Structure 1
């Protein structure tokens, strides 16, 4: 399923809104991403309307973005959990079809209705060390609560019918598919050597320590964490207003797969407060290297990165592939 950059008119947004929120009148319509738009109402509420092509590809790879219906189901599953009110996550309203596109309508959490939302990545370098640590501490706490949402099978929604309950089996399936297609990326990767290393890791059960499928955001990073600065005299007062604005890459997996754990700060790990620690032993660091390689390959294969982001993903894939040559599986 391809992400659409289709222009949405105010009239179309109003028509979709009326289907699910009769009487609601749009005050403003803003672009949020190439495929998403913020709808603001006069009463202060804010909604996110995402549009994608409704064309279905039966041959789409497993790493392809989740369908709109799958994204709605994931958010509905989260919304049914007792910890949901404490998480700054959009609430699912509805999904459907309009003019050849599928749409997903969600409601912003209350703290994210301010028009001054900014991504954490855009202001991070201007924040004091204390403010950065406090933001990472909050984020770690939210990730922990998110990962407490569990399921009875591993994998992306596309694998639900398979009912797979062994994470190592699922991750190897995902990684093998990405490696099969990595040749088209022009990376300096020795794919046969990586497969031999992967066989060694499988034999040592490197990925076999994840026993319960957890909700994993996967692709989310600091550029997907939105913050607001409350009216306060404290310049370090930065509050996370929203995470998980998009679940198109979310899946049921090992929590260590989160992109945010590729190079986590101490504050992020302290906020997450995992027992036992996620990366206590050398084999767990090796596992994380495989996860980082997979993440970079998926980002490049999906192909939505800007110039600097693409260069960084390419460098990451090649660097991690080299590091895996000497990584221990024990």
Structure 2
């Protein structure tokens, strides 16, 4: 059996894109005011020009720009004189080290949100594309309007069991809706939409895994590389059973990416589309320890034995490696390394026994 891994192209340029969406965004934690000492922070006049360009009106007046902390990308809350609010999302600061799969985050998010808005009724922004040439920003960015709601991570302790069940059931149905979108090839959004995706899910998954293993090697991260490559290659033939490439936003459904209305306790917004691939929906992190209500909404529960179970173990290996490596790249944002290492050890032990 060949253990050759398929490497993704190392072209990490991001296509400039401007997106303006209808709706609002809310997250856990209060926004912190923008400071002049924040690297690469846009100045007030530049934001003013950008908002007027996106809204196509010279009468729009920006009153305040605030930086939202604790995020990979630079995210700003822009308050407008008429009471409206917008979200400005820019690339991470120039000194932020990114993993290979994170290089096209803004471009991926724009394309996926546009795709979902055009083909589903999900609570995601409706995007309008603009040509940024000649604008004040030389790098890619997204303009999103503000979604009212509280992140599930923050409101979860206040939800009753019945309210949480409704939220989970809704998420399951939404993930099923997302997975209904298909593509002719497998792999990252950039490669699939450019026509250079993989012909099989096995090839695409091995490419994704090898990419993050290369990230780990670049930072001299201590993980069992040989065991990971061996067991994934040994069981990789089971990935061939996935013959239809479906949309998989890997982070969708996470507690920080689900917005809940504080009054109705209903899901009112979905976030987290900068890391999306085309492959097996079961690879999404939301399936990890998902509730019975979620699977009822999704309409399908993964098998606890057989090929489907082994594929889940392979996906667990991938997620754990990503978590460990992300911690070494950005320890201030990722603090679950020990838990990820335990998950990696458990998954590899399970794979060694099947």
1:47 touches 1:107 (CA, 8 Å); kept in 2? yes
Equivalent in 236, 241, 252 of residue 209 of structure 1? 241
Aligned counterparts of 1:31 and 1:240: Cα–Cα separation in 2: 25
Match of 2:265 in 1: 238
Answering whether residue 162 of structure 2 is matched by residue 93 of structure 1, we say no
Equivalent in 298, 310, 322 of residue 298 of structure 1? 322
Match of 1:19 in 2: 53
1:189 touches 1:321 (CA, 8 Å); kept in 2? no
Answering whether residue 228 of structure 2 is matched by residue 194 of structure 1, we say yes
1:2 touches 1:53 (CA, 8 Å); kept in 2? no
Match of 2:89 in 1: 50
Deviation at 1:259, TM superposition (A): 0.8
Aligned counterparts of 1:28 and 1:127: Cα–Cα separation in 2: 33
Unmatched tracts of structure 1, length 5 or more: 231-236
What TM-score, normalized to structure 1? 0.79
Report the 3-state secondary structure (helix = DSSP H, G, I; strand = E; otherwise coil) of the residue aligned with 2:129: strand
Equivalences for residues 72-91 of structure 1 within 5 A: 72-81=110-119, 83=120, 86-91=121-126
Unmatched tracts of structure 2, length 5 or more: 1-11, 15-37
1:137 touches 1:271 (CA, 8 Å); kept in 2? yes
Q: CA RMSD in A?
A: 3.1
Aligned counterparts of 2:307 and 2:285: Cα–Cα separation in 1: 18
Equivalences for residues 1-330 of structure 1 within 5 A: 6-23=40-57, 24-26=60-62, 28-32=64-68, 34=71, 35-41=74-80, 45-52=84-91, 62-81=100-119, 83=120, 86-94=121-129, 96=132, 98-108=136-146, 112=147, 114=148, 117-160=149-192, 161-183=195-217, 189-202=223-236, 205-220=237-252, 221-230=254-263, 237-244=264-271, 246-274=272-300, 277-279=301-303, 281-303=305-327, 310-327=334-351
What TM-score, normalized to structure 2? 0.74
Aligned counterparts of 1:167 and 1:125: Cα–Cα separation in 2: 38
1:200 touches 1:329 (CA, 8 Å); kept in 2? no
1:293 touches 1:316 (CA, 8 Å); kept in 2? no
1:286 touches 1:329 (CA, 8 Å); kept in 2? no
1:282 touches 1:328 (CA, 8 Å); kept in 2? no
1:62 touches 1:156 (CA, 8 Å); kept in 2? no
Aligned counterparts of 2:250 and 2:113: Cα–Cα separation in 1: 15
Deviations 1:185-224 (A, max 9, x none): 676632212222112202xx22223222111110231111
Report the 3-state secondary structure (helix = DSSP H, G, I; strand = E; otherwise coil) of the residue aligned with 2:170: helix
Aligned counterparts of 2:336 and 2:345: Cα–Cα separation in 1: 14
1:54 touches 1:101 (CA, 8 Å); kept in 2? no
Deviation at 1:174, TM superposition (A): 1.1
Report the 3-state secondary structure (helix = DSSP H, G, I; strand = E; otherwise coil) of the residue aligned with 2:191: helix
Distance 1:249 1:224, change over 3 A: same
Report the 3-state secondary structure (helix = DSSP H, G, I; strand = E; otherwise coil) of the residue aligned with 1:207: helix
Report the 3-state secondary structure (helix = DSSP H, G, I; strand = E; otherwise coil) of the residue aligned with 1:63: helix
Deviation at 1:72, TM superposition (A): 2.2
The number of aligned residues is 305
Aligned counterparts of 1:52 and 1:194: Cα–Cα separation in 2: 31
Deviation at 1:102, TM superposition (A): 1.8
Deviation at 1:165, TM superposition (A): 2.7
Report the 3-state secondary structure (helix = DSSP H, G, I; strand = E; otherwise coil) of the residue aligned with 2:186: coil
Match of 2:8 in 1: none
Deviation at 1:98, TM superposition (A): 3.8
Deviation at 1:261, TM superposition (A): 0.6
Report the 3-state secondary structure (helix = DSSP H, G, I; strand = E; otherwise coil) of the residue aligned with 1:208: helix
Deviations 1:123-148 (A, max 9, x none): 21232212211111111111111111
Higher relative contact order (Cα pairs below 8 Å, separated by 6+ residues): 2
